[in-house]
Chains A and B, each alone.
Chain A
């Protein structure tokens, strides 16, 4: 008995020592050792495919050709507002690619991004995409425009504007489209009516996921009748064989996505490659890659025509229709959506 005890104790002690040795040996070391030439990218949810399939490898190849060094990338994806909050809390990002400009402004205010970020090409915007409606095969509810989503009984999935930039674009798109319609019908933009439509649509929302990508996953699992999202998501879903139909509203917004370098904690050796990468995003090679990934180029409309999957839009509008993001955010997202729509539920 005594002898057995000692033996067991010895064996268990030995195995414990072994376990400690094994586990210590693999104490969290990253998959790709981040040296000076590692770029950490925090991006809003739908950037993933274009970045990882196309942009990262081609930039790494270019850098290798020109500097003879390896560049590796680490990335994290979430809703645009979530990404911004993470960075403001100190997440180790070198580059942020966001869905909305307001998030850049928040990072500028927190001292993470240079105030002159708009001095970059294209005012800091790297690509754009349209907003569309996805419905079930055969379009059983006969949806042709945003306002059709206001019909009673429609179950709509809409990302949460608190965490998702795409959700804010979607709200701006609904509201703007209604203004444009009333303007073309009566010669005057009827904001009362537009708020009414927005309110009726919001009453049909059954779920507000954290990001556009989460909303898509929910829709894919069979939940809901319709989803408002980036055109790119609709194209990707169709390419993956998901049974959905894409409805392009006659008037819809073109969302514009900024990329910025996060200055806080940026070492000089990293700055060089971080800026090189950001500037690369406007190169012809990268813009072509975005179009291949079903975004729209900001530098050349000819490029956009080369991708037949990109829809023809009758009356596209952008944030300038509202007088810029500052005013759009204040007037539409905060005052109208926050004050009149969301609170009325």
Chain B
């Protein structure tokens, strides 16, 4: 994949632009990304590993992390299945209104997440369009299910966006071969199409998951923000920061930063590995 990168040569001999441009890249990143990130770590550990650990292992912090991961997991499962289905339908069939559906799926990307939360409240809240018909003891808003709904909404286009282009540009000769050999539609999908989407599926899942774990704007509106009940990790960080407990906020922030580093490392390496398999 990267074999052709250096084949274009504008100069002969040593290319000074290469080290210069890499340095420039890093210098740009330093104040914009690297320093803010490192300040989380510096402040997170400023009063020692022990108090970092103590801040991280309070029941509320553990719960917040757990809630974030679990709600993000279910949002990912849903959006992956949906994204795969939508991409398959839209890549394989051409029909009137197809582009409109693609645009509709992509809308949540550009909507402020607070609006997403508010929209859910207006729909499912106790006084919402549909929520008013729910019995009082089966409300969805202000429960962990509301967080899952919010996560689904804001990460809706992500998995689809990763899978769709791969499916569209996929070489269809294998699928055709499979069909000629008498395979059913389902068999072809399961044994031919799906395996070649492995990279895109893993990529879409990780993106969706990572984005869900960090979701704040919509969750603060729909979750109720009760510590130990409906407070996710980003809400916990915000609450602790507002209470002036910067250390507690940082401990959880460090976990999320490390987590996102891990996710995107997997994304980077595993995708290459899965696609070349």
Contacts and interface: CB of A to CB of B under 8 A. Distances in A.
B144 interface: yes
B60 interface: yes
A123 B91 CA distance: 67
Contacts of B126: 89-90
B59 A31 contact: yes
B228 to A, nearest CB: 4
A25 to B, nearest CB: 10
A89 B224 CA distance: 10
B196 interface: no
A30 B144 CA distance: 10
Contacts of A220: 244
A31 B139 contact: no
A119 interface: no
Interface residues of A, number: 32
A316 to B, nearest CB: 27
B37 interface: no
Nearest to B232: A28
A86 interface: yes
Interface in B133-176: 136, 139, 141-144
Contacts of B143: 28
Given A91-B142, A91-B224, A217 B125 contact: no
A75 B227 CA distance: 7
A30 B70 CA distance: 13
Given A5-B277, A77-B243, A214-B242, A90 B142 contact: yes
A306 to B, nearest CB: 26
Nearest to A38: B229
A62 interface: no
B66 to A, nearest CB: 6
B67 interface: yes
B241 interface: yes
Contact of A32 (B70, B125, B136, B228): B228
Contacts of B225: 76, 78, 86
A217 to B, nearest CB: 5
A217 B141 contact: no
Interface in A62-89: 74-78, 86, 89
Nearest to A237: B244
Q: Is the interface of A mostly helix, strand, loop or mixed?
A: mixed
A337 B139 CA distance: 39
A265 interface: yes
Contacts of B229: 30-31, 34, 74
Contacts of B227: 74-76
B11 to A, nearest CB: 43
A304 interface: no
A265 B136 contact: yes
Interface string A268-296: 00000000000000000000000000000
Contacts of B71: 28
Contacts of A90: 121, 125-127, 131, 139, 141-142
A134 B229 CA distance: 35
B63 interface: yes
A217 B242 contact: yes
A75 B226 contact: yes
Interface string A163-204: 000000000000000000000000000000000000000000
Contacts of A78: 225
B127 A74 contact: no
Interface of A: 5, 8, 19, 23, 26-28, 30-32, 34, 40, 45, 48, 74-78, 86, 89-92, 211, 213-214, 216-217, 220, 240, 265
